Amino acid sequence: MSKANLLDRRQVVSTLLAGRKDVVAIGGLGASTNDITAVGDHPRNFYLWGGMGGAAMIGLGLALAQPRLPVLVITGDGEMLMGMGSLATIGLQKPPNLSIVVLDNECYGETGGQISHTSATADLVGVAKACGIANACAISTMAEVETFAKAVHEVSVGPRFANVKIANANLDRILPSRDGTYIVNRIRGDLGFQPI
């Protein structure tokens, strides 16, 4: 696909979260958190302000703890590459309510655009499949994003994984709160738990 046709990350994320209902959204360290915030801050958004590589694992934990809730991890290629081992555990545990979307701009955008492994040899869809996540696909059109967004709400047939090729644009940073205690207690409260 030519670079000119690559998807707009904000459009992808706003489509994924449109009509989100009870979806828990986890943003990886990197620009995906800005994209999620651009759609709107929400008590069920959980932003990683540290722990690069941990987004899919946090998604796994939440999905196992809250099996009736759709859990959607939205992260970047660099963050997913760092936490690639988590796909092995997700493929083993197969949480049916977990969806993972990688916004793949083939670079570490947040830190200056250094090219990542997905620009050359690394195939994250292949990794996910090889780890046992049968429902893993490469996405390059908004129609495919829309189909995936609908599937996120089905909590009995996951896990599902999508690698979405996006344009390498350096967009305005729309930052949510960086207070980790606030972020964790907000989602805990929304899910009916006491603060930590």
Ligand X SMILES: Cc1ncc(C[n+]2csc(CCOP(=O)(O)OP(=O)(O)O)c2C)c(N)n1
Beta carbon nearer to ligand X, 124 or 155? 124
Q: Is 77 near Mg ion (CB under 5 A)?
A: yes
Q: Binding residue for ligand X (CB under 6 A) from 10, 20, 23, 32?
A: 32
Amino acid at the residue 178: R
Region 148-187 residues binding ligand X, contact defined as CB under 6 A: none
Which of these ranges, 12-20, 71-79, 92-100, 149-157, lies near ligand X under the rule CB under 6 A? 71-79
Among 22, 133, 99, 101, residue whose Cα is nearest residue 68: 22
The least CB distance from residue 168 to ligand X, in Å, is 8
Choose among ligand X, Mg ion, none what residue 79 binds, the Cβ cut-off being 5 to 8 Å by kind.
ligand X
Amino acid at the residue 74: I
The DSSP 8-state label assigned to residue 4 in this structure reads G
Which of these ranges, 71-79, 93-101, 120-128, 148-156, lies near Mg ion under the rule CB under 5 A? 71-79
Residue 68, Cα to own-chain centre: how many angstroms? 19
Q: Binding residue for ligand X (CB under 6 A) from 17, 54, 71, 79?
A: 79
The Cα–Cα gap between 124 and 129 comes to 9
C-beta of residue 9 within 8 angstroms of C-beta of residue 103: yes
**C-alpha pair distances (Å), 129 with each of 47, 105, 123, 125, 153:** 26, 21, 10, 6, 21
Residues found near ligand X in the complex (CB under 6 A): 28-32, 52, 76-79, 103, 105, 107-111, 116
Footprint on this chain of Mg ion (rule: CB under 5 A) = 76-78, 105, 109
